[in-house]
Structure 1
Amino acid sequence: MEKHSLRQIGEESSALIKVAIPAILAQLAQMTLGVVDTLMAGNYSKHALAAVGTGANTFMIIFALYLGLSFALNPMVSHFNGQGQFKQIGKTFQMGAFIAVAFAIVAFFVLRNMEAPLLLMDVTPDIAGLTADYLSAMSWGTLPAFLFLALRASNEGLFSTKAIMICSFLVIPFNILFNTWFIYGGLGLPAMGAVGVGYATSLVWTLLFLFLLIYTYKNQRYDHLGIFKNIHWPKVSLIKEYFTIGTPIAVGMLMEVGLFGVIGIMVARYGVDLTGAHQIAMNIATVAFMVPLGLSVAITARVGFWRGKQDFRQMRLAGFCGIGLSVFFQALSVTLMLLFRHDFVGFYTDNPELINIAASLIFLAAIFQFSDGLQINSAGALRGMKDTKVPMIYMAVAYWLFGFPIGYYLAEYQGLKVQGFWIGIIVGLSIAAVLLLSRFVRRSKFAIKFAQS
């Protein structure tokens, strides 16, 4: 690593934290929506919990494709910001919205036809039918959800993470209100259980999009960007750049989310108790993951900004500062998960068997926290450099050549079931972390040498 003074490290770390803390809190707030859904479904019935858990895993496989594409907007906007090409930022905002609509239409119809695929994957018929109804209810929220993701990623490229945080917290009370109304019924609506969670989620996504849209429209700092002026389909060159950066991110994310999603669906074959325990433990692990995920947003924006300015030493510093902060946060996360895993599970259920199974899974989740933090933040630094193709290959190898086969072998042939799959997750994330971190070290060092030559 290039030598930097303590002052430079402190300044860059401070700038990262300033962007990262709201981004982390926004991720936690958005994750809280899923936690509330799981808690309220679990309190309604074990079947509702299993359906919401299986449906969430299925939804994320579909959702991840566009989510990964939207991540391209962050480095694109941050690069244009660093270069002072402000009109291009406005055009990038518009392009993101157009593409979001196109993908939302496709997702809408896919989500409404999921029962047959779930049955083909041997999900028990009672869970498959209820899960399909839940996904059908969720389909109405795909358009506002995708538009929100496009706005979120574009705003993150301008370091506007505080507004996203505020919008995310504002919808939490509505999520509780809508869930209560639709799950248990009232005011003319029948009790809908798990299906009610789907309708509530659609309404919450709609509010989330509207809140962020109002902020973006009213923000005077954005007036010179022309986001809402001269709206037209963007140029081919801009779309090409978007897909060049975003497609590998989307495929890579699909590799990771697909790993968790497919495992979640396969676990549903083991019955309601194991499915519920898996969902509880995965929910807790995902909450912990929101910290490095939010930090990766800041790393991408800071690395992208300095790359746009052609300051590669500062770009490298931003990446290393972010990865170092991730290690610190993950150490804290591991400690909390190991010490309080039974207490955390107790928030979800009072069933002793579910508590013991989920607590054993959280122990495994604590092990992969370091690997998970390193891989997502190394990937975030590489995204800031617009380096996404090779990381996609790394993820494919780590998750599907090693992680899933090892997990499947342990689960199905060694009788470890859920625990076997979780060990496979640990292997996949660890390999991805090593590969992605080593690539950022090499690529950032090469960029400095190339600029100096």
Structure 2
Amino acid sequence: MKKLIDTYKGHYRALFYLGLPIVIGQLGVIILGFADTLMVGHHSTAELAAASFTNNLFTLCIIFSTGFSYGLTPVVGELYGNRRFMEAGQALRSSLLANVLVALLLTLIMTIVYFNVERMGQPEELIPLIKPYFLILLASLVFVMLFNGFKQFTDGITNTQTAMWVLLGGNALNIIGNYALIYGKFGFPEWGLLGAGISTLFSRIVMVIVFALIVFRSRRFLKYKAGFFRLGWSKQMFRRLNALGWPVGLQMGMETASFSLSTIMVGWLGTIALASHQIMLTISQFTFMMFYGMGAAVAVRVSNFKGQNDKVNVRRSAYAGFHLIMAMAVVLLSIVFLFRSRVGGWFTDSLEVSAMVSSLFLPFLVYQFGDGLQISFANALRGIADVKPMMFIAFISYFVISLPVGYFCGFVLGWGTVGVWMAFPFGLTTAGIMLWLRFRYKTK
């Protein structure tokens, strides 16, 4: 064991210092999700259920778009590893264009979804709450994609602190805006769920403006700024970003779709089930986002070593990241398990919702290790730019296995919401094993 630790010690240290700012930034996102759910849940249980439905539809878009933007990380990571700084700046320019085009496509798709919300089997009393909130989140998609472009660029050049501070500042602004607009404080009207949407849109706009000012005005980015403005457009770079971005986006999108489609199934069970489902999804994002923060560091380190053609350290970086994520899983799950009986009461005053939340902790705890496994090796494969097989692995894991198991357990066996959640351990663990086997095969 000591020999193993000594072999990986440098990788643990490097991943920790690279990944910690990303994890802290993701923690800011998690705190924002907690604050949103807490504030909306205490304002109204119906608004909490409406937020659950709408947020899960948009989470699918945002995770897909984040996955697409991840195509920039291995490109910039390789260029940074080879000290080709101007080309890295050119890659940022191509990435922003590609991200905006994808955002417009997602906006069109979600507009079609908006006009079909009434046909999705949700409780009728939620429709007047869902539709205005939906439109505001729709307007913010392009700003999410622009932010992602800047974030993946700075992460790729190992400057993870910049995105961390922008995220934390934007999330603090959003929480203040939520408090003012949900409850009608500081002279603002009491808009409830609509106020939460307006606050989210405003904070996303501000984060993009601040990030752009930092990248284009700060001295430390001058060598990249020169490439952004002087090298012009590169069709080859644009094609490469799309070739990497679409498979990763689809892989992450299918994973998230299994959760989003599960939300629609839970909605068939009523408002109480949907509200409890939203609370547990908020808890699950706590672990997922922190795992993914460390996973992003794995992708950066792996891509740097790939640029140097150092295959030994490509493997060691990936396995060191997996060890760290498993250690995080043990710590985080221990904390969550201790508070399992109290969690529901933090978000709502409804005793029915709190009781249902407690019943969902068993499947939640079981699937965390499979989630950590698939995050580790999905990011390792992203770092070596082997992304196309990830689409097929995701399709099998989430659409062929996870969703049918959720429907069977939830409705055929009659286990309700707990049954729908029993699908997640099957899908995520299957994905993790297949991604690990693929990485082993590509780097043996």
TM-score category of the 2 structures, normalised to the smaller one:
over 0.9
In structure 2, C-alpha distance between the alignment counterparts of 1:341 and 1:68, rounded to whole Å: 31
Residues 156, 356 of structure 1: alpha-carbon distance in 2 compared, 3 angstrom cutoff: same
Secondary structure of the residue aligned to 1:347 is: helix
Counterpart in the other structure of 2:97: 98
- Quick check: 229-238 or 248-257, which moved more? 229-238
Distance 1:5 1:343, change over 3 A: closer
On the 8 A contact 1:75/1:304 being kept in 2, the answer is: yes
- 1:56 corresponds in structure 2 to 55
Query: Judging changes above 3 Å, is the alpha-carbon distance between structure 1 residues 306 and 30 closer, same or farther for their aligned structure 2 residues?
Result: same
Give the TM-score taking structure 1 as reference length: 0.93
Q: CA deviation at 1:219?
A: 3.3
Question: 1:442 Cα deviation (Å)?
Answer: 2.0
Is this contact kept in 1: 2:279–2:357, CA < 8 A?
Answer: yes
Structure 1 partner of 2:265: 266
**5 Å matches for 1:432-451?**
432-445=431-444
In the TM superposition, 1:53-452 aligns within 5 A as 53-185=52-184, 189-226=188-225, 229-230=228-229, 234-445=233-444
- Conserved? CA contact 1:337–1:363, under 8 Å: no
Three-state SS of the structure 2 residue aligned to 1:376 is helix
Bigger shift: residues 222-231 or 406-415: 222-231
1:395 Cα deviation (Å)?
1.1
Check the 8 A contact 2:258/2:398 in 1, yes or no. yes
AA in 1 matched with 2:268: R
CA shift for structure 1 position 377: 1.1
Aligned partner letter, 1:36 = A
Measured against aligned partners, the alpha-carbon deviations of 1:215-237 in whole angstroms (never above 9, x if no partner) come to: 22233232112357526862211
Stretch of structure 1 that moved more, 122-131 or 195-204: 122-131
Is the 2:90–2:227 Cα contact (8 Å) retained in structure 1? no
Contact 2:95-2:238 within 8 A present in 1 as well: no
Point out the more displaced range, 116-125 or 86-95.
Answer: 116-125
Following the alignment from structure 1 to structure 2, what is the Cα–Cα distance between the partners of residues 47 and 112? Answer: 23
Taking a change above 3 Å as real, the CA distance of residues 341 and 187 of structure 1, as seen in their structure-2 partners, is closer
Structure 1 residues 62 and 128: CA distance shift in structure 2, 3 A: farther
Alpha-carbon separation, structure 2, partners of 1:231 and 1:131: 46
Structure 1, unaligned stretches of length 5 or more?
A: 446-453
**Count of residue correspondences:** 443
Identity of aligned residues (%): 26
Structure 1 residue matching 2:157: 3-state secondary structure: coil
The answer as to whether partners of 2:150 and 2:211 remain within 8 angstroms in 1 is yes
Contact 2:21-2:161 at 8 Å conserved across structures: yes
Residues 174-203 of structure 1: CA distance to partner in whole angstroms, max 9, x if unpaired? 112211222233667542221221111101
- Say whether the 8 Å CA contact 1:141–1:202 is kept in structure 2: yes
Does the 8 Å CA contact 1:115/1:128 hold for their aligned counterparts? no
Instruction: Assess if the C-alpha contact under 8 Å between 1:139 and 1:202 holds in 2.
Output: no
Indicate how the Cα distance of structure 1 residues 414 and 120 shifts in structure 2: closer, same or farther if over 3 A, else same: same
The offset of 1:430, in angstroms, is 0.9
Q: Any conservation in 2 of the 1:23–1:161 contact (CA below 8 Å)? A: yes
Q: Which amino acid aligns with 2:286?
A: V
Superimposed CA distance per residue, residues 368-392 of structure 1 (whole angstroms, 9 cap, x where no aligned partner): 1111011011100110000111122
Shift of 1:140: 2.5
Q: Which amino acid aligns with 2:293?
A: G
Q: TM-score, normalised by structure 2?
A: 0.95
Deviation of 1:352 after TM superposition, in Å, equals 2.1
Contact kept, 8 Å, 2:306 with 2:384, in 1: the verdict is yes
37-46 vs 233-242, greater mean Cα deviation: 233-242
Within the alignment, does 1:16 sit opposite 2:15 as a pair? Answer: yes
Q: Distance in 2 between matches of 1:113 and 1:131?
A: 15
Residue 442 of structure 1 aligns with an amino acid whose one-letter code is: Y
CA contact (8 A) 1:37 1:179 kept: yes
Q: What is the CA-CA distance between 1:6 and the residue it aligns to?
A: 4.8
Amino acid at match of 1:278: H
With 81-90 and 320-329 compared, the bigger mean Cα shift is at 81-90
Could you say what secondary structure the match of 1:191 adopts?
coil
Question: Residues 226 and 276 of structure 1: is their aligned pair in 2 closer, same or farther, counting only changes over 3 Å?
Answer: same
For residues 134-164 of structure 1, give each alpha carbon's deviation from its aligned partner in whole angstroms, at most 9, with x where no partner exists. Answer: 1101222222221001111111111111111
TM-fit CA distance, 1:108: 3.6
Q: CA RMSD in A?
A: 1.9
Separation in structure 1 between the aligned mates of residue 89 and residue 383 of structure 2, nearest angstrom = 19
How far 1:394 sits from its partner (Å)?
0.7
Separation in 2, partners of 1:47, 1:155: 40
Distance 1:311 1:216, change over 3 A: same
Cα separation, partners in 2 of 1:416 and 1:189, compared to 1, 3 Å: same
CA distance in 2, matches of 1:221, 1:144: 24
The aligned amino acid for 1:176 is I
Alignment-mate amino acid for residue 314 of structure 1: N
Counterpart of 2:437, as a letter, is: S
Q: Tell me how far apart the structure 2 counterparts of residues 385 and 284 of structure 1 sit (CA, whole Å).
A: 31
**SS state at 1:342 partner:** coil
